[in-house]
Structure 1
Amino acid sequence: MKFLLLTCLFIANNWISSVISKDAALETVSKHGQLSVDGVNLVNQYGEKVQLKGMSLFWSVWMPYYYNKTTVDNIKEYCHSNIVRPMMAIDTKDGGYLTDPDNEEALIDAVVEAAIEDDIYVLVDWQDFEAENHLEQSLYFFDRLSKKYGGYPNIIYEPYNEPITLEWSNVVKPYHEAVIKTIRNNDPDNLIVVGTPQWSQRLDLAAADPILNQSNIMYSLHFYAGTHQQSERDITKAAIDAGLPVFVSEYGTVNADASLPVNVSETLLWYEFMEERGMSYVNFAVSDKEEGAAALIPGTPPEKVCWEDYLTESGKIVVEHNKA
């Protein structure tokens, strides 16, 4: 088994080196500036295609010890990332924004400010599965966030992590339109990544009825390589071919329930698919939970985040890809 793993990692590392040419940590905000959407592409302030590659944190309510500048510093330097994604928990059995908004806002602010200081982008995720039921709170949060940080080109908004409902046109889309309007009152330019139905996998529904009369909007795709394979790539390709700009705001190398094994072959197929289209993508997760999707071994402190000796099997594949 150990030989097989080393062989897979060797193949992965060599494949990555042949496909990717840029270390994401060097593709900073000061280099690319204000992002915008041109057709299906994410472009920089000069109109050149740009790619964001990086790491998502775990749910804020369960791993607040990673919501600090030390972690963000290491994500950039050692995970070779130009984007970090804080996941603000909204409503869990252990709390979240609905029950403790001040604490959750403080955690998000710490990551946003660290990202600004570190010259990388930050994708702020409203980690909710039924956000249409929390519209009032969402509008308040994104109004506050866009007023405070909308003047920085670093900020990217993700107003709805993973809608469960399949009702795009009547439920999810109107929710997004309300949040977009609120953000745009304060921030007319920064990128907004909107969640799509069925845990952000049904891009076809959004492609059939996209959000109109708005600029700099992309649509999120989430996948886990052990579960979501060629059929999801086919849906994604069709959506992009139809003109839908897609941003992979969450992906994993393992199964959708975050369990092992790491599916190296499917992960590489996804990397190839995304690289061919210049897509941006964020790995789940900077976590030391004992599960396959975690990039860190259990007990990893913030000052050791993304250090090679503290990376899991998944973490090693992701970091090697980010820096190649």
Structure 2
Amino acid sequence: MPSLAIETHGLGKRFGERAALESIDLEVPRGCAFGFLGRNGAGKTTLVRLLLGLAQPTTGTMRLLGHDLPSGRAEALARVGAIVEEPRFHPHLTGRENLHVHAAARDASAHGRVDAALKRVGLGNRADDKVKTYSLGMRQRLGVARCLLCDPELLILDEPVNGLDPAGILEFRGLVRSLVDEGRTVLLSSHLLDEVEKTCDLAAIVDNGRVVVQGTIEALTAGGERTIDIVASPTVKAAGVLAGVPAVTRAIEYNGGIRATLAPDAPRDLDVVTVLLRRLLAEDIQVERVAPVTRSLEDEFLSMTTRLEHA
């Protein structure tokens, strides 16, 4: 089996003079949760629609589960479950009835997966209620249940946590991880940076129709300046002492303490912390807390998009 669930090269989509996507090179490995991350209007839904055959690309090539698109689309989509924007259902039918209607368009085995799919997304107790009584969050979960009817190798979910409360988002995160543990691939298109960071293994950041960076979550959050937060008193004296340490390029008062920015060639964080503590204690400065600042996916996103805006 090919190692990539999704592969695009030079993929582009134009609407008249406007480029919704431009030269997208994307590689989504099998058996992972992959975040396609960008602000609203960045081109995320356009990519999803291209992959599902709901729109035709202007340029480039696509492969889905090892099949060239569009020639192999029928074979590929037989094992793909997808939510595009808000999932739509027949409001006068129950959740269970809606899934059976959808199962009729799949193979015969899909009907046998309805009950398990409803239970898996937490709708077992509401399966026989009409969908018009469902909240937006419940309809989102019913959309995921519909995805599961084809026993998918790949799930493509466009903004799937819209309308979910914090408990629902936590449940959804666990659902995605359980699907990945089964060897399935989940492409999660979202503008929620924190959710992508907590749910996904890899991510690509898209801005103005272009993929600006992609890689593992660990690699994406490892770049940028290294900083350390220190709470010590007297604060002004501590900042002055830290500014004189060769490994520190800047030390400023920050949020009731001090934030020290490290030089690019500074030793690893643990060694730097030891040096800073020794210097502060040698100057009779009381130290309450020293902690390296963990860079988040939001930091990387803001850094990349701001850099592009001013390029």
Structure 1 length normalisation: TM-score? Answer: 0.33
